[in-house]
Structure 1
Amino acid sequence: MAAISLPPVPYDATALRPDWGELPAGLRAAVTARLGGPVAAARVATAGFTRGFAAVLETADGRRTFVKAASLAEQRHLVDWYAREAAVLDRLPAGLPVPRPRWTVAAAGWFALGLDAVDGRTPHLPWTPADLDATLTGYAEIAAALADPPPELVALGLPRLADLAREDILWWVEVAAGREPVPALPPGSRDRLPELVTLESRLPGYAERGGLAHGDLRLDNVLVDPTGRAWFCDWNWICRGPAWFDLVSLLITAHASGLDADALFAGHPATADAPPDALDVTLAALSGYLLTSAAAGPTSASPHIRTHQRWSGEQALSWLATRQGWETPQPGRLTTRQVGNRSAPRARE
């Protein structure tokens, strides 16, 4: 087995969120009315990278609802994400392992979304065979259902991954053009900037194909329930593009777990129509995106987001370097300088 690398902070301990009692009284009253009874227990989510409220709320009679909430004035981007997620989840095909929306409410200058509560946990790192098998099996079901998405879902005007790639994911080309400082790359990758630019440049063309992709498939957006079934959360980044893109972002942590991520990618049904170099192309793009995001400076998100972006970028580059036959990078020693002229990339929290 290859060497194992773990993130600096566990994925189930990255969030910094308000407690139920810290929300405005008017919002708590409105949410309580939707719940149908007073909140007897509130279990705040510890995974994720936003500062939005997120918790399983339980009433005295045992009914449980997962509630997300954000301030309209101070967290407008989160409000927009939650509203889009509600619309997406309401239109996803029936039977998929995704939480379903129950209600939305606006009160006291806040917006709240109520979802079915999934009785689950974040997968363990390093990945266990059971958790990984459940996640890959569940995603195969989702990818098959979204290969030909329902018209009502497409009608939401979902973004195209090809456009997102051109606008916000391809960053090595900015480094090569001198519009971004060159990251302090490890041995074996320091002279590979031309190859990184060439590889990432193919992503927009490849991303023109496919049905729909989750767009932000990471370990912390997966929950494994007591029966061993994997559930997929946080659908605000769904986009039109190939499902194999999701697999690359998910399997970065499989590579970090010392597993044969190449074989896991190649053997998944979502990669059946992937171009031969789709994995390398996506790893190149994601490594640049994550490493430049990590150097973007202060953020209103979790204080752990920059270190996680850096770690994830290092793992993506390590995986790519191994595949390309470059000298093996040393994850954990990669550093980046401050972002320069181009505006900081969107942080997918």
Structure 2
Amino acid sequence: MGVDYHRTSRRPEFADLPDEVCRLLASVAGSPVAVARPSVTSGFTGAFAAVLELADGRRVFAKAAGPAAPHARVALPQEASVLGRLDRVAGRLTAPALIGAGSTTVPDRTTGTDDVTGADDTGADGDLWQVIVLEAIDGRMPGIPWTEAEVALVHDTCRALAAVPPAEVAAITTSSLATDVGGDPVARATLDELAAGTRAWPAHVTPLPAHQTAQVAALGHLAGELLEGEHLVHSDLRPDNLLLDTSGRIRVVDWNWVTRGPAWADFVGLWPLMARDGIDVAALAESSPLTRDADPEAIDAFLAVLAGYMLTHAGHPAPPPPTLAALRDHQRLLGQLCLDLLATRRGWS
């Protein structure tokens, strides 16, 4: 079981966007669009995402989401808000620079209306679209597969995130990993149902023995308490949300779900994929200043509740286009790898 993180989505091209959205992107970018590059094929939404070459010679990365990509339509203004606060408070870290964001309502041509005022979703006045324009970053996705050198670079980036002073973190986000992930009732219910035998294990995920599944469920219920922390957590680090730029620096993108939690959370969240690629994460746990003094039970609780989160939807049918079936592949893979790492850490295998 594997996922090609370069090929996980099918997105519209610039030419497919409504005229109102194209005009808004040019306005937010500050120049007309001269050339639109093909949309990227990474990520898990069907929103538009591509490099735009502008008439003034600049290159930007633009994203746009309408009613066909409701998850992204919520995420884009969130990302703009977080990036704006990062730029002011934490010096942006390695996040892309925010150029601008905006929204527009596209008239419903089926009714002939041209009234684009007053609509906040999809209705009689038309469809709401959200856009964001960012710095374009030249680089490649790390972790395909993970190498020791790339792990070291990502580790340094995670240390920089965790080093943001708590007062600055509080100005960036008020949410909590302990609540949002550790306290997720759906993820914990999934683990409980697997332990009780009332939920089927998803296809291609190896079932654990009953006593081990019960331990995973118990760990998941500890996560709400053990994931408390005041450090900055990106909360969605995956290979496709990281770029190794041409200067050799890791850049972190897609800051939609930034939260507060333990200093080690982002780095540990990458361990399942790193371990799959042969990286000795036990050695990392002992050597990294992020984890060497961390409570091992807290790390295991995080892996457990993350497995529950992934396995909740992993057995469901693939979502409708434009999202690809790779979303379910990703959920099955991460759920399996979290369980594999837990088994290793707890001596089950």
TM range (shorter): 0.7 to 0.9
Q: Give the CA RMSD over aligned residues.
A: 2.3
1:216 is matched with which residue: 221, 226, 236?
236
Contact 1:169 1:289 in 2 (8 A): yes
- In structure 2, the partner of 1:13 is 7
- In structure 1, the partner of 2:187 is 169
Contact 1:146 1:213 in 2 (8 A): no
Are positions 1:153 and 2:172 aligned together?
yes
Contact 1:8 1:307 in 2 (8 A): yes
What is the TM-score with the length of structure 1 in the denominator?
0.83
Are positions 1:142 and 2:136 aligned together?
no
Are positions 1:275 and 2:295 aligned together?
yes
Deviation at 1:265, TM superposition (A): 3.3
Contact 1:189 1:326 in 2 (8 A): no
Q: Distance in 2 between matches of 1:187 and 1:86?
A: 41
Deviation at 1:164, TM superposition (A): 3.3
User: Helix, strand or coil for the counterpart of 1:149?
Assistant: helix
Are positions 1:250 and 2:247 aligned together?
no
Are positions 1:112 and 2:146 aligned together?
no
Structure 1's unaligned 5+ residue stretches are: 1-6, 328-349
Identity %: 36
Are positions 1:78 and 2:72 aligned together?
yes
Q: Distance in 1 between matches of 2:197 and 2:344?
A: 27
The farther-off stretch of 25-34 and 302-311 is: 25-34
> CA offsets, 1:198-250, max 9 Å, x none?
22221111112332311111121110001110011111111222132222221
Cα distance change, pair 228–312 in 1 and its aligned pair in 2 (3 A):
same
Q: Distance in 2 between matches of 1:291 and 1:165?
A: 15
Aligned residues: 318
- In structure 1, the partner of 2:336 is 314
Cα distance change, pair 95–70 in 1 and its aligned pair in 2 (3 A):
closer
Q: Which amino acid aligns with 1:169?
A: A
Q: Distance in 1 between matches of 2:234 and 2:41?
A: 22
Q: Distance in 2 between matches of 1:58 and 1:266?
A: 46
Q: Which amino acid aligns with 1:9?
A: V
Deviation at 1:303, TM superposition (A): 2.1
Contact 1:140 1:268 in 2 (8 A): no
Structure 2's unaligned 5+ residue stretches are: 107-127
> CA offsets, 1:19-56, max 9 Å, x none?
11111112112212333122323242221111111111
- In structure 2, the partner of 1:227 is 247
Are positions 1:103 and 2:125 aligned together?
no
Which one has the largest radius of gyration? Answer: 2
The farther-off stretch of 270-279 and 215-224 is: 270-279
Deviation at 1:114, TM superposition (A): 0.7
Deviation at 1:123, TM superposition (A): 0.9
Cα distance change, pair 312–151 in 1 and its aligned pair in 2 (3 A):
closer
- In structure 2, the partner of 1:25 is 19
After TM superposition, list the pairs within 5 Å mapping 1:334-345 onto structure 2: none
Q: Distance in 2 between matches of 1:82 and 1:159?
A: 20
Q: Which amino acid aligns with 1:96?
A: L
Cα distance change, pair 233–189 in 1 and its aligned pair in 2 (3 A):
farther
Deviation at 1:131, TM superposition (A): 1.9
Deviation at 1:81, TM superposition (A): 1.0
Q: Distance in 2 between matches of 1:187 and 1:163?
A: 26
Contact 2:14 2:36 in 1 (8 A): no
Contact 2:146 2:277 in 1 (8 A): yes
Q: Which amino acid aligns with 2:41?
A: T
Q: Which amino acid aligns with 2:344?
A: T
The farther-off stretch of 83-92 and 7-16 is: 7-16
Cα distance change, pair 163–280 in 1 and its aligned pair in 2 (3 A):
same
> CA offsets, 1:151-193, max 9 Å, x none?
4323xx4344334322243231233356533557647645412
Are positions 1:207 and 2:227 aligned together?
yes
